[in-house]
Chain A
Amino acid sequence: MKMAIAKQEVRALSGDEAVAYAVKQSDVDVVAAYPITPQTIIVERFSEYVHNGEVDTEFICVESEHSALTACLAASATGVRTFTASGSAGLALMHEILYVTSGCRAPVVMAIVNRALSAPINIHCDHADSMVERDAGWIQIYVENSQETYDSVIQAFRIAEDPDILLPTMVMLDAFVISHTLESVKVLPDDIVRKFVGTRQIPLVKNHEGKLVPFKLDPENPVTMGPLDLYDYYFEHKRQQEDAMQRASQKIKQIHDEYGEITGRRYGNGLINPYRLEDAEIAAICLGSTAGTAKTVVDQLRAKGVKAGLLRLRAYRPFPAQDVTKVLENVKAIAVMDRSHSFGAYGGPVFHEVRHTLYDAATHPQIVNYVYGLGGRDMPQTLIHEIYKELQKILETKRVKKPVRFIGVRE
């Protein structure tokens, strides 16, 4: 059944404010967060909503990010909806609890404002903080602008809490470029968001007495969560997490589509967001806000008759390998753009993933890696033009001279 598109109000919101507004509308029970630039505004705005009585949320002031996520994990284990936000050093301090949260299958939702890691200290955007957490068992969604930030946070509650999935989910937005930039954001009425996110559904599990009870900490129906799990069972529980990740791909698409029915907004199929790729011979691949600039470059190249396209990865975990392979099947030369680097590795993390995915592609495209924008270094159109120029050269010569490159850094 087709639903009518809801009437939406346009508000001037920065990315951080868009997160806070989405959380306000999503009927969240517990928020525990610790401020860190450039995520601070999320926590500030939300604590204002709490102070003004605009939300029915327990706001827990904690002394660190390690405690923030621990509090969210514990609250989530009782079956309620929880949210936190962090980035950079704050996310790094959560590292241990990220694994505990996914291992306990606690569907915490977190906004990450991507900021470089120290040292030297830097408050600006790159993806190093969330890239190191890609193996932590969290779903990762990277957004392009404030509008998508708002939309994705709302979707994240549905994805994480789906009884078939139960995986914590992080939504990544670029520091300052998105977090502090005021944009026109279309917001849904409160009741429509409330209806979309619904109440958290708790699946039934068999407890130690053989009784079928809700999967939550409840004195009336006791269960034991997070016990010692050695070589005889740990592996099975990790295998279950991978299974949930694989199933999450379909769920992300489905929830993205359902949301699109209400708002009229879609970002590709929810996992990948291709731009002018249908007949493209060359293409760049990136995450986050860089896609906005790259689309302009693609348009300029297309106006000159160059068959250029762009692929933005929206979901990074689960990695949409099948979708990436399919959408790039006719592309001959590809540039993978990494806004973080794995020191000593053969290229950045997105390059690893994409090149590895395309190893089996029948067309054997030429692939080059560009590490860019570390510590908030600007990525202007001129540099993206350079990448596409190199792709045109690769297309002609059918050869990648230097597969891993750094762009926008002074020699």
Chain B
Amino acid sequence: MTAKQKGWKELPIAGLCWKPSTEYFTGDWRTFKPMLDEEKCTKCLICYIDCPDVAVKWKPEDEKIEFDYNFCKGCGICANVCPSEAIKMVLE
């Protein structure tokens, strides 16, 4: 999922960050992927508050939540805190 990675001749030395963390996708660490059952979701937004990676996005215009899979590491907290069991963790 990450774009073509730079070789050692192109990278700045010493592990210096050459791009912001918002462009460094950590989603490829994931083993389990959260899947939302929109019918069960009550839009309580507990998952939105509890996600440690800010990877649960609230779209007010559509009145629904979405997962940002570029940054979701698959920790499963959202599925655990969901009172309506609307989130399932699925093996990728």
Contact = CB atoms under 8 A, between A and B. Distances in A.
Q: Real complex partners, A and B?
A: yes
Contacts of A237: 8, 11, 13-15
B29 to A, nearest CB: 9
B12 A225 contact: no
Given A210-B18, A237-B15, A240-B13, 15 more contacts: A105-B14, A206-B18, A207-B16, A208-B19, A225-B14, A226-B14, A226-B15, A227-B15, A229-B15, A232-B2, A232-B5, A237-B8, A237-B11, A239-B8, A240-B8
Instruction: Report the contact-size class of chain B (Cβ under 8 Å from the partner).
Output: 10 to 19
Interface in A218-241: 223-227, 229, 232-237, 239-240
Contact of A206 (B7, B8, B12, B21): B12
Classify the interface of chain B: helix, strand, loop or mixed.
loop
B16 A224 contact: yes
B17 A208 contact: yes
Contacts of B15: 103-104, 225-227, 229, 233-234, 237
Given A232-B5, A233-B5, A236-B6, A225 B16 contact: yes
B13 A207 contact: no
Instruction: Report the contact-size class of chain A (Cβ under 8 Å from the partner).
Output: 20 to 34
Classify the interface of chain A: helix, strand, loop or mixed.
loop
Contacts of B11: 233, 236-237, 240
B25 to A, nearest CB: 10
B20 interface: yes
B9 to A, nearest CB: 8
Contacts of B2: 232
A105 B11 CA distance: 14
Of all A-B residue pairs in the complex, the 5 with the closest CB atoms, nearest first, are A224-B17, A236-B8, A105-B14, A239-B8, A208-B17
A237 B8 CA distance: 6
A327 B15 CA distance: 38
A209 interface: yes
Nearest to B12: A205
Nearest to A229: B15
Most chain B beta carbons < 10 A, residue from A103, A104, A208, A209: A208
A138 interface: no
Contacts of A209: 20
B20 A223 contact: no
A239 to B, nearest CB: 4
A96 interface: no
A244 B48 CA distance: 46
Interface in B1-59: 2, 5-8, 11-21
A388 interface: no
Nearest to A226: B15
Nearest to A243: B8
B11 to A, nearest CB: 5
Given A237-B11, A239-B8, A240-B8, A215 B20 contact: no
Interface string A316-358: 0000000000000000000000000000000000000000000
Contacts of A105: 13-14
A166 B13 contact: yes
A104 B16 CA distance: 8
